[in-house]
Chain A
């Protein structure tokens, strides 16, 4: 059985990806997606102390940038290459002719692999830029105020973005949603496998980016801001500016998750980006794993995603024991879990560790510092000087 799974995942033949193998690909994909969001959240909340309750907005920006901007660019380029696409200029045609157009674009990408890669890179770039811009806009009303105001603004923005996406057909096809061209059509195997691999790779890259930033002087600045803002401001640092920069940077990274979600599902609709899903779960993963370290985020994301996906896949087997939809059972379990973890393991499964700075042994320094009695030290030095 395991050999079969390994074969399915590695060889990625379309026929091999069924049943349990599909579940594993699915778990890997959603682990990749949510680990990006949770790591960005860890960067903001765990290390800089910014309570970002608007992860859903940042993800939705990535998804909407694909469905509204990148897809139009794709259609324009492909139409210029001579493929007879149906007219897509007004709102009705945009949704109505969408499946046929997407099919033609997929056939074009199948023969022109380089164009597929170019479209993919372009969409990532657009998402990062628009995500950062969104981070700036999100920061505008409440970044100077108390954390409570920031939370309120961000949590309402998540609902607002969904309402706008639902009613403006131009953005994401309104309530019907739109199909997204498959930029990995040139790959002979399964689309799910390649997008999962690419997402995990992007997650790995963003992990190294975040780690480098945390181990740099800027990371220490962030941690000092989390501990005490007033002190940092008194040293002459621009606290508001630092906070805004961090929010913008993390927004850009989070938007990549929205892009990859679009390419995995090959479909985009506003109903897929609910606040409960994309804001609450990253927070649950972060609190479960332990805020402030990436290892905890990985562990939390893996646990929650495995639980979620297993419930979804075995939905019909479990459903017969309940009279209500199983999704609400899941809400009760996950909602209760967060409070449970907060009360019984306030530091998470893996507590925060000290930052790694090459050449500095923090643990040793702290041990030595405890031994030195700082109150007595100046006096004893004064006595020594007096004896001399």
Chain B
């Protein structure tokens, strides 16, 4: 066994990390699981495809464009649907079903875009892999370094944004309690719009890295949503740092466990790869619904055990 499969696992895991971070940020801002989150990644895939096959230049030039496209779609979704429904006082369930509708709507538009390539440019666009467009360092594909680099930069930048800048602190405050933060003078609408822009942009960026190693189709984006949710849920659903660990774990586990299953049990195990994140999801819900964050909080509580306060009370009496 060479190291290629490990590189592939790490590439996939870093892309999944970006997606899980975005999913968690959406959950923090709007308190809903956004089922359309995977479809944003599908748009990223097609930005890369357009840059490679239509413009004929290296797909890496498409990364900023992908970020902007994803952010734009996400902001449009937020402004037109989520924000409007939220103002009308619809509950979380109605909003979640609306995201399901958006997923179907956006997925159909992506298919139409792919079929336009087939109809007008005679290029096969519904199942492709752009590994030839990648550069190589030694024997390793460049996408391995690029995806690791981008996810590391994103994690560090996000940490800086959320802890050191005013905007990030406002984002955290708005996620915690929108009414209270608006009392403190934070423009919650703008902050929420920015969070949605960030989530969509990150999702689309992750998607744009995908076709350089994996086979992609318009369905890929919608199909990956289970892994994203599993990653986010493993991280605790309400913690960005948890989502980083969770997304990376699920990505590695999905590739490596499939490989292990194929080697140990038999080749047919590869068909069951999508079941691995689902199994993680159910196991996490059965053991600790709050995921790694819950474990961390329990550990913290045990570490700082409440000391008996009896001596103080005696002193006060004296």
Contacts and interface: CB of A to CB of B under 8 A. Distances in A.
Interface of A: 45, 49, 51, 53, 140-142, 145, 147-149, 151-153, 155-157, 159-160, 163-164, 166-167, 276, 280, 283-284, 287, 323-325, 328-329, 331-332, 334-336, 338-339, 342-343, 346
A159 B93 contact: no
21 contacts: A141-B282, A141-B286, A147-B92, A147-B93, A149-B285, A149-B289, A153-B285, A155-B35, A156-B226, A156-B278, A163-B275, A276-B104, A280-B101, A283-B97, A324-B116, A328-B109, A332-B105, A338-B97, A338-B101, A339-B102, A343-B84
Interface in B42-86: 81, 84-85
B285 A142 contact: yes
B275 A148 contact: no
A6 to B, nearest CB: 37
A142 B283 CA distance: 11
Contacts of B226: 156, 159
Contacts of B277: 156
A147 to B, nearest CB: 6
- The 5 A-B residue pairs with the shortest CB-CB distance, nearest first, are A335-B105, A331-B108, A324-B115, A323-B119, A338-B101
B96 A51 contact: yes
B22 to A, nearest CB: 16
Contacts of B96: 51, 148, 151
Contacts of A148: 32-33, 92, 96
A60 B285 CA distance: 24
A153 B272 contact: no
A66 to B, nearest CB: 24
Nearest to B81: A339
Nearest to B223: A159
Nearest to B281: A156
Interface string B159-188: 000000000000000000000000000000
A47 to B, nearest CB: 14
B137 interface: no
B88 A346 contact: yes
Given A147-B93, A331-B107, A343-B85, A324 B289 contact: no
Contact of B105 (A45, A53, A336): A336
Nearest to B218: A328
B274 A159 contact: yes
A342 B83 CA distance: 12
Nearest to A341: B101
B100 A156 contact: no
Given A166-B271, A324-B115, A159 B278 contact: yes
A200 B285 CA distance: 39
Nearest to B95: A342
Given A145-B289, A331-B104, A151 B93 contact: yes
Contacts of A159: 226, 274, 278
B299 interface: no
A377 to B, nearest CB: 31
Nearest to B77: A339
B253 interface: no
B104 A167 contact: no
A153 B230 CA distance: 10
Residue among B104, B116, B286 facing the most chain A CB atoms (10 A cut-off):
B104
Interface centre among B85, B108, B116, B119 (most CB of A within 10 A): B108
B90 interface: yes
Interface string B225-244: 01001000100000000000
B94 interface: yes
Nearest to A343: B84
A151 B93 CA distance: 9
B112 interface: yes
A83 to B, nearest CB: 34
B289 to A, nearest CB: 5
A163 B271 contact: yes
Interface string B272-310: 101101100110011001000000000000000000000
A51 B109 contact: no
A51 B100 CA distance: 13
A336 B268 CA distance: 40
Interface in B183-230: 226, 229
A334 B104 contact: yes
Contacts of B278: 156-157, 159-160
Contacts of B103: 335
Given A160-B278, A163-B275, A342 B94 contact: yes
A152 B119 contact: no
Contacts of B115: 323-325, 328
B133 interface: no
Nearest to B286: A141
Given A152-B229, A167-B272, A335 B286 contact: no
Contacts of A346: 88, 90, 94
Contact of B98 (A157, A323, A332, A339): A339
A225 to B, nearest CB: 14
A113 B317 CA distance: 92
B111 interface: yes
B84 A153 contact: no
Given A147-B92, A323-B115, A346-B88, 12 more contacts: A140-B286, A142-B285, A145-B289, A147-B93, A156-B281, A166-B271, A167-B272, A280-B104, A324-B119, A328-B109, A331-B108, A335-B101
